[in-house]
């Protein structure tokens, strides 16, 4: 007896030790995973902070002396007026090359901004007005870097330009404001003007198309396969192929979309319609697999209960089985959609990589998508696009988190005990 | 309309409701003849012939795996759900061959209700559980009538007093015994002729079991009940007819009292005295 219990207690010790080791291993694994995630989020987050603000430069413009008639504002070019105002602010600048550098302080949007303000308030033409303009990307970066001269002298900004910036700063004519522009405008060649809205709308439209196509088709396919289809060699073959489809690299779906939707069907290139169709090809297997798994998880007793009182198979499925599977189906679909939101490769193939400035207003207009916009900006030579890229990544992650939260909320809302 | 018309026609349903007296010329409501059931290659029931008289409780007893549940599930064609299951032979209910091609399984199951081994209320409200059957079968013309059916069914299942003040609460919140009585109420709300019960008390404690047994005795007035049970005491308490199954064969059947006191077959005797099983 004693021998027996001694042997047992030694073994028991080892068993407890192995459990403790396993638990610690698991904790360390989670810690490492969280660490990397936090590192990634922090590095992107820090970089993107710069894109949240935008530097503005104020110029005093003597508008009375321009003699622009109030009814001719729309047809006037304001470029020369901006240039003259800049020269008036820094009268010492004489050389042609110097002047060109001076004009580079404000964004090329300045003349349009002036026109917009005058159209809104023609009364400004009667006097001298102090108007805020978006600074050029180099000025913006300089201000945001806190004025590290050495780095910028010999870089994009000359010593002269830095001198002017300091003069403007000292006279209170440079300001950093919240960058609404980023959320309300489309892409631009000029980093200071580039915004995320057109990509955001493009992504939203594509996802809407993707959802409308893949959710009903996927759920119905899953319900048919799981509840009605006979189990034979054909359905087994189908199941294997659906699983294979879920594993196909997304760029292959992009090529398929290019070959079929664009070249055979002749649908409009770069449009959210085609983007959504390609993404739904990708999402469909995910939704089918998730929906089948959650239908399979509904206990057979529910089916039997319904059939036992004479519900037809359709009634049993739609009244009892499908509602119970709904949380799982929704979660699977949203996760599939979230993957579609983040996917770039298939969209490149169907031309959604184009440079799109305008915010698309329908699913047939050319558009781009968030991940593609990130790809485009990350590829741009201008340093200022680095911040924009990080900010765009934050926007994308924000929407992914929103979608995943929605999945959790929906799951909790529809979850029923059985 | 002829009897050969498609499955949904009224004629076949009418046939179910009104037994054709000429068939077999017997009083049996359910009459099985030479029934063989196969699961794939394995034969689960061998040549079963059994008559079930109306308005009595017939219990099917026998050791585990003897085929009693399989036989029960043949009677409302629940075995159709199992792909590899094959049923041969004739089963007539109220004179209608229930495996005839013209029979609508949905209509059949409205006539032959079922209560399962494990209480399986829908994860909906108590009211919805009972109202679902009448609603899909169109048994009520108005909401008030539906309310009436639900109340009546719950009363007959002996559950009304316990749940009348919480009809809109989830059925899954009831105790096991209450859930099983709710399942009985759900079955009788459709007004079937026959109620099949598959070990309805095996998941319940003795008190809940006693209530269900009382209930079965009351329901006998209006329904024909076929009950599968593991417990010979239960069979002796609730049933008038008993059939003993052993290894896929119907060994013996007859009046319960006779079967338990003077069994004809050796195997029956061994089973009821506890020597096999």
Closest CA to A307 of A317, A292, A322, A293: A317
Asked if residue B66 belongs to a domain, the reply is yes
B263 touches chain A (CB under 8 A): no
Tokens, residue B139:
């048994």
Q: How far is B136 from chain A (nearest CA, A)?
A: 7
**Separation CA B168–CA B47 (nearest Å):** 47
Could you tell me which residues are beta bridge partners of residue B97? Answer: B92
- In three-state secondary structure terms, A299 is coil
Tell me which chain B residues have a C-beta less than 8 angstroms from the C-beta of A418. 123, 172
Of B12 and A273, which is predicted with more confidence? A273
| pLDDT of residue B11 exceeding 60 | no
- In three-state secondary structure terms, B44 is strand
Asked if residue B3 belongs to a domain, the reply is no
Task: Choose the mutation target among A233, A298, A302, A309 for the interface with B, i.e. most B CBs under 10 Å.
Answer: A309
How many distinct structural domains can be found in chain B?
1
B83 touches chain A (CB under 8 A): yes
**Separation CA B213–CA B238 (nearest Å):** 6
| pLDDT of residue A277 exceeding 80 | yes
Percentage of chain B exceeding pLDDT 90: 69
Asked if residue B206 belongs to a domain, the reply is yes
| pLDDT of residue A418 exceeding 60 | no
pLDDT digits (tens, 9 = 90+) for A373-410: 999 999 888 888 888 999 999 999 999 999 999 888 88
CB burial of B40-64 (b: ≥16 within 10 Å; e: otherwise) equals eeeebbeebebbbeeebbbbbbbee
- Any idea of the CA torsion for A288, A292, A294, A295, to the nearest 10 degrees? 130
Asked if residue B4 belongs to a domain, the reply is no
Asked if residue B152 belongs to a domain, the reply is yes
For residue A3, the model assigns a pLDDT of 67
Number of alpha carbons in the 13 Å side-chain half-sphere of residue B48: 35
For residue A417, the model assigns a pLDDT of 54
CB-based contact A325:A302 (threshold 8 Å): no
pLDDT digits (tens, 9 = 90+) for A152-194: 544 577 778 888 888 888 888 888 889 888 898 888 888 888 8
Q: Domain range for residue B222?
A: 10-272
For residue A124, the model assigns a pLDDT of 83
The whole model's pTM is what? 0.82
Task: Using alpha carbons, list the distances in angstroms from residue A218 to A210, A256, A291, A331, A335.
Answer: 11, 19, 8, 13, 14
- In three-state secondary structure terms, B225 is strand
| CATH number, position B207 | 3.40.50.300
Task: Choose the mutation target among B83, B136, B200 for the interface with A, i.e. most A CBs under 10 Å.
Answer: B136
Percentage of chain B exceeding pLDDT 70: 90
Tell me which chain A residues have a C-beta less than 8 angstroms from the C-beta of B116. 301, 304-305, 308
Closest CA to B193 of B45, B16, B65, B31: B16
pLDDT digits (tens, 9 = 90+) for B177-227: 999 999 999 999 999 999 999 999 988 889 889 989 999 999 999 999 999
For residue A2, the model assigns a pLDDT of 58
* Lowest pLDDT segment from A107-121, A279-293, B108-122, B253-267: A107-121
For residue A142, the model assigns a pLDDT of 84
| pLDDT of residue A7 exceeding 90 | no
pLDDT-derived band at B277 (thresholds 50, 70, 90) equals low
Asked if residue B2 belongs to a domain, the reply is no
Q: Which of B83, B109, B132 sits opposite A307 (nearest CB)?
A: B109
For residue A148, the model assigns a pLDDT of 64
For residue B9, the model assigns a pLDDT of 42
* Residue pointed to by tokens 């765009």: A392
Beta-carbon contacts of residue B68 (< 8 Å; ≥ 6 apart): B60, B61, B62, B228, B243, B245
Tokens, residue B66:
């003897």
pLDDT-derived band at A411 (thresholds 50, 70, 90) equals confident
For residue A151, the model assigns a pLDDT of 57
* Lowest pLDDT segment from A70-79, A233-242, B262-271: A70-79
Closest CA to B95 of B166, B29, B50: B29
Strands B30-39 and B42-52, sheet pairing: antiparallel
pLDDT digits (tens, 9 = 90+) for B64-113: 889 999 999 999 999 888 888 999 999 999 988 999 999 999 999 999 99
DSSP per-residue codes, A73-106:
GGG---HHHHHHHHHHHSTT--SHHHHHHHHTTB
Residue A9, Cβ neighbours under 10 Å: how many?
Answer: 9
Task: Choose the mutation target among B17, B72, B82, B106 for the interface with A, i.e. most A CBs under 10 Å.
Answer: B106
pLDDT-derived band at A64 (thresholds 50, 70, 90) equals confident
Tokens, residue B122:
């829908």
Q: Go through the domains of chain A in sequence order and give each one's CATH number.
A: 53-178 (no CATH), 197-414 (1.10.3720.10)
pLDDT-derived band at A284 (thresholds 50, 70, 90) equals very high
| pLDDT of residue B121 exceeding 60 | yes
**Separation CA A82–CA A107 (nearest Å):** 11
Judged by CB atoms closer than 8 Å, whether chains meet at B123 and A324 is answered as yes
**Separation CA B52–CA B255 (nearest Å):** 11
pLDDT digits (tens, 9 = 90+) for B229-250: 988 889 999 999 999 999 999 9
φ and ψ at residue B4, rounded to 5 degrees: -90, 0
Q: Which of B83, B122, B189 sits opposite A231 (nearest CB)?
A: B83
Closest CA to A282 of A364, A204, A344, A220: A344
Could you tell me which residues are beta bridge partners of residue A178? Answer: A53
Tokens, residue A13:
């010790």
For residue A141, the model assigns a pLDDT of 84
Asked if residue B254 belongs to a domain, the reply is yes
CB-based contact A371:A395 (threshold 8 Å): no
Residue A180, Cβ neighbours under 10 Å: how many?
Answer: 10
Asked if residue B51 belongs to a domain, the reply is yes
Q: How far is A317 from chain B (nearest CA, A)?
A: 13
pLDDT-derived band at A1 (thresholds 50, 70, 90) equals low
Beta-carbon contacts of residue A37 (< 8 Å; ≥ 6 apart): none
B84 touches chain A (CB under 8 A): no
Which element (helix H / strand E) includes B33?
strand B30-39
CB-based contact B172:B122 (threshold 8 Å): no
Tokens, residue B109:
């199951």
DSSP per-residue codes, B48-115:
EEEEE-TTSEEEEE-STTSSHHHHHHHHTTGGGGSTTEEEEEEEEETTEETTSTT--HHHHHHHEEEE
Helix axis angle, A197-223 relative to A322-342, nearest 10°?
140
Of B245 and A150, which is predicted with more confidence? B245
Mean model confidence pLDDT for chain A: 88
Residue of A nearest to B173 (CA): A417
Judged by CB atoms closer than 8 Å, whether chains meet at A312 and B106 is answered as yes
Mean model confidence pLDDT for chain B: 86
pLDDT-derived band at B5 (thresholds 50, 70, 90) equals very low
Calculate ∠ Cα A324-A325-A326, nearest 5°.
95
For residue A77, the model assigns a pLDDT of 86
ipTM reported for the complex, 2 dp:
0.83
Tell me which chain B residues have a C-beta less than 8 angstroms from the C-beta of A321. none
Judged by CB atoms closer than 8 Å, whether chains meet at B187 and A309 is answered as yes
φ and ψ at residue A115, rounded to 5 degrees: -60, -45
Beta-carbon contacts of residue B16 (< 8 Å; ≥ 6 apart): B93, B94, B96, B107, B108, B111, B193
pLDDT-derived band at A198 (thresholds 50, 70, 90) equals very high
CB-based contact A270:A366 (threshold 8 Å): yes
Beta-carbon contacts of residue B190 (< 8 Å; ≥ 6 apart): A309, A310, B110, B113, B133, B134, B137, B139
CB-based contact B99:B7 (threshold 8 Å): no
Of A411 and A244, which is predicted with more confidence? A244
Tell me which chain A residues have a C-beta less than 8 angstroms from the C-beta of B189. 309
Beta-carbon contacts of residue A59 (< 8 Å; ≥ 6 apart): A82, A85, A86, A89, A106, A130, A131, A133, A173
CB-based contact B254:B52 (threshold 8 Å): no
For residue A4, the model assigns a pLDDT of 74
**Separation CA A403–CA A389 (nearest Å):** 21
Residue B124, Cβ neighbours under 10 Å: how many?
Answer: 19
């Amino acid at each position: 007896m004693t021998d027996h219990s001694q042997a047992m207690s030694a073994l028991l010790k080892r068993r407890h030790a192995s459990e403790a080791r396993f638990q610690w291993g698991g904790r360390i694994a989670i810690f490492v995973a969280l660490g990397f995630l936090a590192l990634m989020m922090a590095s992107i987050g820090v970089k993107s902070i710069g894109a949240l603000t935008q530097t503005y430069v104020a110029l005093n413009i003597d508008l009375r002396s321009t003699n622009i008639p109030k009814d001719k504002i729309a047809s006037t070019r304001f470029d020369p007026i901006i240039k003259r105002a800049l020269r008036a602010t820094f009268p010492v600048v004489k050389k042609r090359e110097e002047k060109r550098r001076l004009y580079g302080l404000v964004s090329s949007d300045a003349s349009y901004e002036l026109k917009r303000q005058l159209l809104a308030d023609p009364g400004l033409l009667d006097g001298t007005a102090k108007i805020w303009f978006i600074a050029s990307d180099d000025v913006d970066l300089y201000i945001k870097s806190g004025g590290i001269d050495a780095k910028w002298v010999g870089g994009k900004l000359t010593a002269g330009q830095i001198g002017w910036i300091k003069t403007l700063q000292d006279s209170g004519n440079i300001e950093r404001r919240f960058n609404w522009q980023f959320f309300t405008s489309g892409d631009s060649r000029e980093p200071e003007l580039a915004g995320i809205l057109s990509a955001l709308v493009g992504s939203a439209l594509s996802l809407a198309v993707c959802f409308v196509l893949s959710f009903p088709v996927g759920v119905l396919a899953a319900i048919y396969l799981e509840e009605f289809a006979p189990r034979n060699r054909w359905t087994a073959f189908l199941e294997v192929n659906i699983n294979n489809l879920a594993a196909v690299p997304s760029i292959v779906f992009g090529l398929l979309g290019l070959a079929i939707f664009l070249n055979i069907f002749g649908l409009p290139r770069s449009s959210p319609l085609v983007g959504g169709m390609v993404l739904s090809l990708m999402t469909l297997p995910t939704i089918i697999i998730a929906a089948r798994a959650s239908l399979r998880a509904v206990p057979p007793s529910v089916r039997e209960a319904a059939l036992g009182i004479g519900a037809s198979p359709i009634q049993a499925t739609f009244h009892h089985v499908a509602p119970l599977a709904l949380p799982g189906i929704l979660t699977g679909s949203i996760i599939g959609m979230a993957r579609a939101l983040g996917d770039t490769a298939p969209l490149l193939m169907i031309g959604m990589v184009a440079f799109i400035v305008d915010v698309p207003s329908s699913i047939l207009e050319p558009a781009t998508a968030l991940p593609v916009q990130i790809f485009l900006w990350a590829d741009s030579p201008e340093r200022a696009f680095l911040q924009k890229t990080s900010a765009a990544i934050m926007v994308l992650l924000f929407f992914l988190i929103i979608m995943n939260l929605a999945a959790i909320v929906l799951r909790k809302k529809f979850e029923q005990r059985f | 309309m002829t009897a050969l018309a498609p499955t949904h026609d009224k004629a076949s349903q009418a046939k179910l409701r009104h037994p054709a007296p000429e068939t077999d010329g017997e009083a049996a409501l359910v009459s099985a003849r030479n029934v063989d059931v196969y699961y794939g290659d394995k034969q689960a029931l061998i040549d079963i012939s059994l008559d079930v008289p109306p308005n009595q409780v017939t219990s099917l007893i026998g050791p585990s795996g003897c085929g009693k549940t399989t036989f029960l599930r043949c009677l409302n064609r629940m075995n159709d759900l199992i792909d590899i299951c094959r049923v041969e032979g004739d089963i007539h209910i109220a004179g209608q061959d229930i495996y005839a091609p013209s029979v609508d399984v949905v209509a059949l199951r409205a006539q032959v209700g079922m209560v399962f081994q494990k209480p399986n209320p829908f994860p909906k409200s108590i009211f919805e559980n009972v109202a679902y059957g009448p609603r899909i079968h169109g048994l009520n013309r108005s909401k008030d009538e539906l309310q009436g059916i639900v109340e009546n069914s719950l009363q007959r299942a002996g559950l009304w007093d316990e749940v009348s003040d919480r009809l809109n609460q989830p059925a899954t919140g009831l105790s096991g015994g209450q859930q099983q009585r709710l399942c009985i109420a759900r079955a009788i709300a459709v007004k079937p002729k026959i109620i099949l019960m598959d070990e309805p008390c095996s998941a319940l404690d003795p008190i809940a079991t006693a209530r269900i047994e009382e209930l079965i005795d009351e329901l006998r007035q209006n329904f024909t009940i076929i009950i599968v049970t593991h417990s010979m005491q239960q069979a002796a308490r609730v049933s008038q007819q008993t059939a003993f199954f052993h290894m896929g064969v119907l060994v013996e059947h007859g009046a319960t009292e006779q079967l338990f006191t003077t069994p004809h077959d050796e195997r029956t005797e061994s089973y009821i005295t506890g020597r096999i099983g």
